[in-house]
A and B are shown apart, each in its own frame.
Chain A
Amino acid sequence: MGHVSRARAFVADAERTRWHDQALWFVRAKRDAAADLVPDWEALRSEAAAIKREALERLPELWIEFEAQATRAGAVVHWARDAEEHNAIVARLLRERGVTRVVKSKSMLTEECGLNPHLERQGIEVVDTDLGERIVQLRSEPPSHIVMPAIHLRRGEVGETFARTMGAPEGLDDPDALTALARHDLRARFLAAEAGITGVNFAVAETGSLVVVSNEGNVDLGTALPKLHIACVGLEKIVPAKRDLPVLLRLLARSATGQAISAYTSHFRGASAGRELHVVIVDNGRSRLLAEPDFREALACIRCGACLNTCPVYRRSGGHSYGTVIPGPIGSVLEPARDLVAHAELPHACTLCGSCAEVCPVRIPLPQQLLAWRGVLAARGLHPRRRRLALRIAAEILSRPTALRLVGGLGRALARALPESLVEQLARPWTRERALPPLPAASFQTLWKRRQATARERGLPARSDAREGDGDAG
């Protein structure tokens, strides 16, 4: 089952689709309003784009600098080639210290690596502490959005989940009451945790420090209480210097939720006495993408989710329809790089409206990249056979004006002669929800020629050089 069928299933619930679309449009509108308040919004985007591109250019040297600085500050740096290595490193660190209870703040990287199930198999309990993440964790679902993991759920559904998993009273759907319940439940888990795992928004080469943003304080609580902090960071998160942070942080919060600044911006550098900070740097396919000129810019992504919020397809198909860790436009560019065959439908889950490229704070040319994937799909013969054949025939017809006019004319004549219901049947799926346009008896070229002939009869000068006698049947 691919995106098409999952999206169809989502859209079938018109009420949920409407509500999902409006919830995300609301966030898009907040982003617009926040952008209005920054005098040089577009210049800021350009600056961020330049910073992230420089970082990609200098990626190896920047990470080496980071490692030296972080180590000097007292952190321990680990390198993971792929998800397995990442999971093994984290599991080993926890095992060696006898840790069985872990709190984890939001991290798409650990989702990508499947860290939770890996640790759970070893008897280690992992509690996601971001409220949205916690809700989907309790439902055994993946996040449907990279910033708002539970945006696909209504509060009633959250209430049902809490009733089932936390013994909350049935029918509870008051957001404040639900949040209080989750907070109470999480607080005990924070206190019991022996280690905190976090993601990373920016790793600063100059200082060897890590920046993590959040809105719920769970990052600080989850790293301040336990003595062990493991930060998992993707290879694309490096930035050259401290001075780059204000640019990126201003854009991140505004693009993500329309906030001027995230409620918490936590900086980590080294570890104080008696505590440990481990940084696990993960490649997992990123260096391969870096070598692809058509797609490398996708590594500039700062995971704000703005392209998801603005995408008219994402808003109406839901994050789960993508079947990937990262959904939406950026996911449709990144995920095919991992497995093109499995995600062959994603580059086509897009009308090329271009809205994503306009909101992207680091100016990733998402529509061009989706188009490039379509080209790769075609070149590797991964489009359905029927589609390829139909397009080849269409191209042959369109290469010959006589053929176009003949086929077009016959088609229209036939459609006009046959009963409407039959024509609609033949024109499916276009006509499942759409009426066929009234088909003209003659094509433009035919009408144009007629018009010129009439003009000549009246002795008016003809304006066209159109040559006559091309056997025009349409």
Chain B
Amino acid sequence: MKVGLFIPCYVDQLRPEVGLAVVRLFERLGIAFEIPEAQTCCGQPFATAGEREQADRLGRRFDTIFSGYDVVVTPSGSCAAHVRRHGGDRSSDRIGGRGKGGTGQRTRELCEFLVETDALRGLAGRLPRRVGLHASCHALRDLRQGNPSESREPPRVEPVRALLGALEGIELVELARRDECCGFGGLFSIEQEAVSCRMGLDRIADHERAGAEIVTSSDVSCLLQLEGLARRRGSALVFRHVAELLADALAPDATAAEAADGSR
């Protein structure tokens, strides 16, 4: 199985440590992978902005770059959902290659991939912290990773919860609203800045009330939104992508070296 890693553009530029955490994790798990250098953006921001032409163009680029891989894995529920489901234009098979065997079908969000391949079997990680899980709307409602709170469908595995829940010592705190949006929404965060911030602040308050020390998510975009709001208010909450938590718990040796690498 040839695995291609897609580290989304904003993770590449703003939170490289998340990409490195995936690398550490895969190395620890013995998963062979490649990171095509030409990769940039899957086109999602343009699709949600309504600019289909640009979304198409980046989508086709994405398809070409990842055409040679059996699986495309990305630490972003949102990008994976775009490639898999929306593709800017649901009626078009070209975008994200939604057709049979297309990249759309072969793309997996990181946690989903780890659970589907049972990659963590037999490994014991430890994370003795109180963790608030911020559900990524797109992982949950687009990729159907678990059941959204609105739905009364039969229970489904929620990969991110399954992976974190298996860590020793972890306490996943109980939120009052377990899957409300953080308010990021791409350009929404700029164009509807006031409502966006209110939504994010409400999420932070929920995590704080629940006693979380760390807030985690399978999407860096949600975390950037929440972290920005929390830091401005001097909140003690720490925001980390689930790949970082898993890598720290399962491959602890590398952590110190990585931190000293000056990635920040």
Contact = CB atoms under 8 A, between A and B. Distances in A.
A277 to B, nearest CB: 39
B264 interface: yes
A434 B197 contact: yes
A310 B151 CA distance: 12
Contacts of A388: 51
B48 A394 contact: no
B211 to A, nearest CB: 21
Contacts, number: 235
Contact of B194 (A7, A354, A377, A408): A7
A368 interface: yes
B90 A350 contact: no
B181 to A, nearest CB: 4
A443 B16 contact: yes
Contacts of B138: 352, 354
B168 interface: no
Nearest to B33: A463
A248 B27 CA distance: 54
B180 A463 contact: no
Contact of B180 (A312, A401, A438): A312
A448 B17 CA distance: 10
Chain B interface, >50% SS class: helix
Contact of B188 (A21, A351, A451): A351
Given A354-B142, A358-B141, A444-B16, A395 B185 contact: no
Contacts of B192: 4, 7, 313, 348-349
Interface in B18-56: 18-20, 23, 27, 32-41, 45-54
A440 interface: yes
Given A378-B51, A437-B14, A398 B58 contact: yes
A368 B90 contact: yes
A32 interface: yes
Given A11-B194, A42-B151, A355 B181 contact: yes
B194 A32 contact: no
A435 B14 contact: no
Contacts of B227: 435, 437
A94 to B, nearest CB: 42
B188 to A, nearest CB: 5
A12 B193 CA distance: 12
A205 B80 CA distance: 45
Given A316-B199, A441-B262, A451-B23, A375 B52 contact: yes
Given A32-B149, A312-B181, A437 B228 contact: yes
B13 interface: yes
A435 B195 contact: no
A255 to B, nearest CB: 10
A353 B33 contact: no
Contacts of B12: 404, 408, 443-445, 474
B234 to A, nearest CB: 10
A220 B50 CA distance: 47
B33 A316 contact: no
A371 B228 CA distance: 27
A366 to B, nearest CB: 12
Interface string A238-254: 00000000000000000
B198 A17 contact: yes
B50 A398 contact: no
Interface string B116-151: 000000000000000000000110011000001111
A370 to B, nearest CB: 10
A447 interface: yes
B175 interface: no
Nearest to B231: A435
Interface string A445-474: 111101100000000000111110010001
A355 B177 CA distance: 13
A8 interface: yes
B61 A36 contact: no
Interface stretch (A56-64, A103-111, A425-433): A425-433
B20 A444 contact: yes
A155 interface: no
Nearest to A468: B37
Interface string B221-264: 00011011101100000000000000000000000000001111
B52 to A, nearest CB: 5
Nearest to A376: B50
Which 4 A-B pairs rank lowest in CB-CB distance, beginning with the nearest?
A: A374-B50, A351-B185, A434-B228, A358-B150
Interface of B: 7, 9, 11-20, 23, 27, 32-41, 45-54, 57-58, 61, 86, 89-90, 137-138, 141-142, 148-153, 177, 180-181, 183-202, 224-225, 227-229, 231-232, 261-264
Given A354-B148, A443-B12, 18 more contacts: A42-B151, A313-B199, A351-B196, A358-B141, A368-B86, A371-B48, A373-B50, A374-B50, A434-B197, A434-B229, A435-B232, A437-B15, A440-B16, A443-B16, A447-B263, A450-B261, A451-B20, A467-B37
Interface of A: 4, 7-8, 11-12, 14, 17, 21, 25, 32, 35-36, 38, 41-42, 310, 312-313, 316-317, 347-355, 357-359, 368, 371, 373-379, 383, 387-388, 391-392, 394-395, 398-401, 404, 408, 412, 429-448, 450-451, 463-467, 470, 474
14 contacts: A17-B198, A348-B192, A353-B181, A357-B141, A358-B141, A395-B54, A429-B193, A430-B228, A431-B228, A432-B197, A435-B231, A445-B35, A445-B37, A467-B37
